[in-house]
Structure 1
Amino acid sequence: GLSGAGPSGRRVLSRVAVSHVGSPLGQSRWRRSLVDTSLSSSSSSSSSSSSSKDDQGLVGKLAALQGEVAAQAAASSNATSSGGLDREGFTSLQRRTFDSFVDFFASEDATPPEVVPRLERIAEAVADGSPSLVVDVGCGTGCLVPFYYDAGVAPESVVGVDLAPAMVDKAASRYPSSRFVAADFTQVDPVEVLGEGTKADRVVMNSCFANFFSQEEALASAATFLKNGGECIISHPLGEPCVSALRERDAAVVPHELPTRRGLDRLVQYQPFQVLQVEDVRGDPEDPFNADSSSGFYLARLRRVAHQTLHQRLCLRGQVASGFGRGSRKLGFPTANLPSSLFDTALEGLQTGVYCGWALVEGSGRPGFGVAHPAVVNIGYSPTFAGEENPEKIVEAHLIGDCGFDSDFYGETMRLCLVGFQRSEMKFPDFGTLVAQISQDVEDAKVALQEELFIQVKDAEEWLDGAATIKDSEGLQGASWKTVPQ
């Protein structure tokens, strides 16, 4: 099933080994069989020998790459993440690559005996806590599925997602009791995969985390699929040495490394995840294709949380501007808006996304004024509104619950104190999906603001008595801001 798969054994190997645990990397004999099969029948034995030596030389370069792992894992620019391809080209390459090898991945050869204990360990981590719904991202032909079953996960509880349709079709035929969806995980609406109002207990990214266009996007998507308290599991049975070797051979297919613990902490800094565990065995960088005890292994567990506590809470004070009318008219969530231009350059480096905190509209003697209200706040450009994106970064605050206002408060002065970060700003496929996510954001903010630390902030003087004033200049209208350590 590998004939015509590629012009050289080296190229074939770099593609085959990328995203699926049942790769031929368990033993060097699988690597040799791929090289031999993909070479032209007219190739001489000396050519095969030269190819083998070249392979060993490339593997030897892994040691020099180890120091770059954290930086490569944290890379987020499109050019770096996709090896120069735009998203459409990158996705097309991934889809073609893995659809080409569906027969191999469905064969017994795809799961060497030496790799089986590692797959069992990964499946046991997934099954820990008896999850009722597992989303297997980059599921391929279903290599991990029987291990889930053996670990106690019910077949009907497994949903596989893969962007390669032929892989998905094969998985569905092999494991008809589970469900499989052909889709780009970072672009698909969770409702299309899970159904209305359903969230997963586990999202598993096994042997595919190095292959996403953006690892940050992959984690943000995982957060939308998971219920609070659920886990995202990132794993690879042969670990970082294998991934690094493959990236060296074809960075267009493998644009990232597996993150170190420090790299993973950076990736989730503005994601609603808490890192629980990172098992990162680097093994022998000179022989990453050997599945004996000296080779690598990777297993990271991240818990989905309602928010990340900000290291410094951000206090803002400014005049409420009339927005685009989208919050109340289109979405049913009225917002009070503060343009970033009010705050000079203070918000330029601030992560776009959804925050939670407290809001107060200055004044007294009128219902709702002069009282701190819980708020969920989006800071960003509203990318879902195609053609109507915000021309500048906007602070959009939705005050939660019945706040008692008997009129709008455009032109009034509002104070905000942001204490937690809930998720990155995302572009949703339609307004319905956006509304559902905003509803979840509101519920998450309610939960977060019940924490004792945040309740104490509600009455803290540093934001109720006014923030440090920015020097007045044209367009600032007396706005002010400051940060306070949590």
Structure 2
Amino acid sequence: MFSAPLPPDVSKRLQRIVDSVPDLGPESRVMDAREQYGTSSSLGNDPGMRTWVGDVESVPAYQGPFDAAFFNAVFGNVYDQRETLLRAALLLRPGGHIVVSHPEGKAWHERLHAEDPEMVPHVLPDEPELQRLTADLPLRIRSFQNNRNLYLALLQVPPAYLIQGRPLELEGEVVAGFGRGSSKMGVPTANIAPGPLAAKLEGLPLGVYFGWAQLDAGTDEPEEDSEVHKMAMNIGRRPSIEDGTDVTVEVHILHSFAAADFRSKRLRVVVGGFIRPEMRFGSLDELIARIKADVGIAKAQLDLPEHQLCKAHEMFVRNR
């Protein structure tokens, strides 16, 4: 709350910050003091506004999904800027926006940081630093302004979680799978040998992807087992399971196969979407809940026309 009206020029800059988000309107998800609207249920879907007291990392998923997240005049105060952007991105709808802004500008904020580094531990990132912070996140920088009296960065979760450029094509031999993921988490995976894929994996953000998969199940198996199916895939070192150093490519195909072991079979995948980077979770239950959310996202997004195109990719073998 401000004890006096804001100067007109500051009000105009605040309006520019709000207006930076395309299509923000009455139906968009927002939060505010509950006293204005009375007490609402815990479902998070009631008309009006609601508040959340705590770190953005603790906001429960049921409060979202949101159309936009605003960090106005507060981003320098957060403890971990990358983690804040990640957690905010996970609460957004595909195509949703994050706004990092300050109506007095970066230089003004840097003076505040110099005066009280305990209260303001970080400066506002310049564009290269913001690119570094978001390099492995499901976010794109849509615009960046660093004027004398206005700092305004607009980031977006890509619509349909689409990866930039052409889809990622991977093919290899299944070396393991349907083991720990199946017995402990109910998420059976077929793992592709990562060695031959090193060139394609180099520089790729570790994390959860989705797309389409085709397994050469063999002529002794049902024909549908060799068709093209939806899949979610993790490329990484599994930090929540073990402190591994070797990268694995674990593919969870959304299909019930007749056989339980596909080692030495060929597996082809076409990857069109990226959901999140690898994360460390506090418990196995948290990990399982997040994996289920990832699989749900993959199922829904792969029904969209943008991803249906990849199902007919030339990489997949048709004449069976």
Q: Tell me the TM-score normalised to structure 2 length.
A: 0.76
User: 1:377 maps to which residue?
Assistant: 233
Q: Distance in 1 between matches of 2:263 and 2:69?
A: 43
Secondary structure at the aligned position of 1:384 is classed as coil
Q: Distance in 1 between matches of 2:198 and 2:24?
A: 49
Contact 1:340–1:394 (Cα < 8 Å) also in 2: yes
Q: Distance in 1 between matches of 2:146 and 2:200?
A: 41
Secondary structure at the aligned position of 2:164 is classed as strand
In the alignment, is residue 208 of structure 1 matched against residue 74 of structure 2? yes
Contact 1:306–1:447 (Cα < 8 Å) also in 2: no
Q: Distance in 1 between matches of 2:15 and 2:276?
A: 32
1:255 Cα shift? 3.2
Residue from 53, 69, 86 that aligns with 1:181: 53
Q: Distance in 2 between matches of 1:128 and 1:453?
A: 24
User: 2:252 maps to which residue?
Assistant: 398
1:417 maps to amino acid: V
Q: Distance in 2 between matches of 1:311 and 1:333?
A: 29
2:60 maps to amino acid: P
1:446 Cα shift? 2.7
Secondary structure at the aligned position of 1:233 is classed as strand
- Alignment size in residue pairs: 306
Secondary structure at the aligned position of 2:185 is classed as coil
Contact 1:273–1:308 (Cα < 8 Å) also in 2: no
In the alignment, is residue 257 of structure 1 matched against residue 124 of structure 2? yes
User: 1:472 maps to which residue?
Assistant: none
1:351 Cα shift? 0.7
Contact 1:231–1:301 (Cα < 8 Å) also in 2: yes
User: 2:45 maps to which residue?
Assistant: none
Q: Distance in 1 between matches of 2:75 and 2:284?
A: 29
Question: CA 1:316–1:128 in 2, change beyond 3 Å: closer, same or farther?
Answer: closer
1:396 Cα shift? 1.0
The unaligned stretches of length 5 or more in structure 1 are 1-105, 136-144, 160-176, 284-294, 466-486
Deviations 1:208-264 (A, max 9, x none): 22344543322211122223354323221212222344456677744343444x765
Q: Distance in 2 between matches of 1:421 and 1:241?
A: 35
Q: Distance in 1 between matches of 2:199 and 2:117?
A: 36
Question: CA 1:299–1:337 in 2, change beyond 3 Å: closer, same or farther?
Answer: closer
User: 1:308 maps to which residue?
Assistant: 162
1:405 maps to amino acid: A
More displaced 10-residue stretch of structure 1: 323-332 or 125-134: 125-134
Question: CA 1:116–1:381 in 2, change beyond 3 Å: closer, same or farther?
Answer: same
User: 2:211 maps to which residue?
Assistant: 357
Q: Distance in 1 between matches of 2:251 and 2:193?
A: 11
User: 1:228 maps to which residue?
Assistant: 94
Q: Distance in 2 between matches of 1:429 and 1:228?
A: 26
2:124 maps to amino acid: E
User: 1:217 maps to which residue?
Assistant: 83
Give the superposed CA RMSD: 3.9
Q: Distance in 2 between matches of 1:301 and 1:393?
A: 29
Contact 2:177–2:188 (Cα < 8 Å) also in 1: no
Contact 2:30–2:50 (Cα < 8 Å) also in 1: no
Contact 1:339–1:392 (Cα < 8 Å) also in 2: no
Secondary structure at the aligned position of 1:311 is classed as coil
Contact 2:191–2:251 (Cα < 8 Å) also in 1: yes
1:459 maps to amino acid: A
Residue from 272, 282, 288 that aligns with 2:147: 282
1:422 Cα shift? 1.8
Q: Which has the higher strand share?
A: 2
User: 1:167 maps to which residue?
Assistant: none
Q: Distance in 1 between matches of 2:266 and 2:51?
A: 52
User: 2:3 maps to which residue?
Assistant: 108
In the alignment, is residue 408 of structure 1 matched against residue 261 of structure 2? yes
Q: Which has the higher helix share?
A: 1
Question: CA 1:452–1:384 in 2, change beyond 3 Å: closer, same or farther?
Answer: same
1:440 maps to amino acid: A
User: 2:60 maps to which residue?
Assistant: 190
Secondary structure at the aligned position of 2:171 is classed as strand
Secondary structure at the aligned position of 1:355 is classed as strand
Secondary structure at the aligned position of 1:442 is classed as helix
Instruction: State percent identity of aligned pairs.
Output: 30
Indicate the structure (1 or 2) with the bigger Cα radius of gyration. Answer: 1
1:361 Cα shift? 1.3
1:380 Cα shift? 1.0
Q: Distance in 2 between matches of 1:460 and 1:124?
A: 39
The unaligned stretches of length 5 or more in structure 2 are 43-48
Question: CA 1:231–1:461 in 2, change beyond 3 Å: closer, same or farther?
Answer: closer
Question: CA 1:200–1:113 in 2, change beyond 3 Å: closer, same or farther?
Answer: same
1:374 maps to amino acid: K
Question: CA 1:123–1:350 in 2, change beyond 3 Å: closer, same or farther?
Answer: closer
Deviations 1:181-231 (A, max 9, x none): 234x34x3634xx46xx5334322222223445433222111222233543
Q: Distance in 2 between matches of 1:155 and 1:429?
A: 34
Q: Distance in 1 between matches of 2:2 and 2:307?
A: 54
User: 2:25 maps to which residue?
Assistant: 129
Contact 1:334–1:398 (Cα < 8 Å) also in 2: yes
1:393 Cα shift? 1.2
Contact 1:358–1:372 (Cα < 8 Å) also in 2: yes
